[in-house]
Amino acid sequence: MSRLRQTRLIHARHKHARLSHAALVLATTLLASACATGGGAAGSDTANPAKSAAVEVDVPSIQRPSGETPQWWFRDGAAQAAERGAMGGRAKNVILFIGDGMSLTTVAAARILDGQRKGGPGENNRLSWENFPATALSKTYNTDSQTPDSAGTMSAMATGVKTRAGVLSIGQQPMRRDCAGAQAVPMLTLWELAASRGFATGVVTTTRVTHATPGATFTHVPERNWENDTELTDEARQAGCIDIARQLVETRFGNGPDVLMGGGRKNFMPVSERDPEYDDKVGERLDGRDLVAQWKQRHPGGTYVWNAQQLADAPANGPLLGLFEPDHMQFTADRPRDGAGEPTLAEMTRTAIARLKQNDKGFVLLVEGGRIDHAHHYGNAYRALTDTIALSEAVQAAVDATSAQDTLILVTADHSHTLSFVGYPKRGNPILDKVRGSSGEDDGNGHYALDQLGLPYTTLSYSNGPGYVGASAQQPEGPKRFQHTVSGVQIPKNGRPDLRNVDTQDPDYLQEALVPTAAESHGGDDVGIWARGPGSEAVRGSVEQNTIFHFLLQSMPALRAELCKAGDCDGNGVPVTLPEPATFRE
Query: CA 459, CA 116: separation in Å to the nearest integer?
Result: 15
Coil, strand or helix at 362? coil
| Rg of the chain on CA atoms, in Å | 28
- Angle, CA 322 vertex, CA 317 and CA 323 arms, to 5°: 170
Beta bridge partners of 438: 424
Coil, strand or helix at 580? coil
Q: Is 155 a catalytic residue?
A: no
Among 103, 128, 138, 150, the active-site one is: 150
- The region that residue 351 occupies, defined by phi over 0 for left and psi between -120 and 50 for alpha, beta otherwise, is alpha
List, as one string, the DSSP characters of 149-168.
-HHHHHHHHHHS----TT-B
Residue 455, burial from CB neighbour count under 10 angstroms (0-12, 13-18, 19+): middle
Q: Are 80 and 576 in contact (CB under 8 A)?
A: no
Kindly list the distances between the CA atom of residue 562 and the CA atoms of 90, 195, 551, 565, in Å, as whole numbers in the listed order.
15, 12, 16, 5
**CA-closest candidate to residue 451, choices 500, 415, 490:** 500
| Total Cβ atoms within 10 A of residue 440 | 10
**CA-closest candidate to residue 535, choices 53, 46, 42:** 53
Q: Which residues of 146-161 are buried (b: 16+ CB within 10 A; e: fewer)?
A: ebbbbbbbbbbbbbbb
Coil, strand or helix at 90? coil
Q: Where are the alpha helices (DSSP H) in 70-223?
A: 70-83, 104-117, 150-159, 179-184, 190-196, 212-215
User: What are the DSSP E strand ranges found in 214-324?
Assistant: 259-263, 303-305, 320-323
Query: CA 246, CA 263: separation in Å to the nearest integer?
Result: 15
Strand order in the sheet with 407-413: 303-305, 320-323, 259-263, 200-208, 363-369, 93-99, 407-413, 527-532, 134-139, 542-544
Q: Which residues are part of the catalytic machinery?
A: 150
